[in-house]
Amino acid sequence: RSEWAGTVYPCVPGHEIVGRVVAVGDQVEKHATGDLVGVGCIVDSCKHCEECEDGLENYCDHMTGTYKIGRA
């Protein structure tokens, strides 16, 4: 239906993601095959700007999200 332009299928749309690890590399130590893992809507931030230091990572100009966002 072309509702998700630019999407490569198969795809499960959303911004909070949960799944099971199906494979890991030789140097991976934190997760193992079969682990249940999840990601919130913010994956990472700079952790050094005023917003991050105030606990407002969602306002960080360098945050990595799981969806496209726009700012005015």
Q: What is the pLDDT of residues 30-58, one digit of tens each?
A: 999 999 998 888 888 999 999 999 999 88
Q: Residue 2: which pLDDT band, with cuts at 50, 70 and 90? A: low
The encoded tokens of residue 39 equal: 């990601």
> What pLDDT is recorded for position 12?
67
The encoded tokens of residue 6 equal: 């630019």
The encoded tokens of residue 47 equal: 């952790």
Q: Residue 17: which pLDDT band, with cuts at 50, 70 and 90? A: confident
Query: 20: which strand partners?
Result: 36
The residue assigned the tokens 């590399």 is 25
> What pLDDT is recorded for position 47?
92
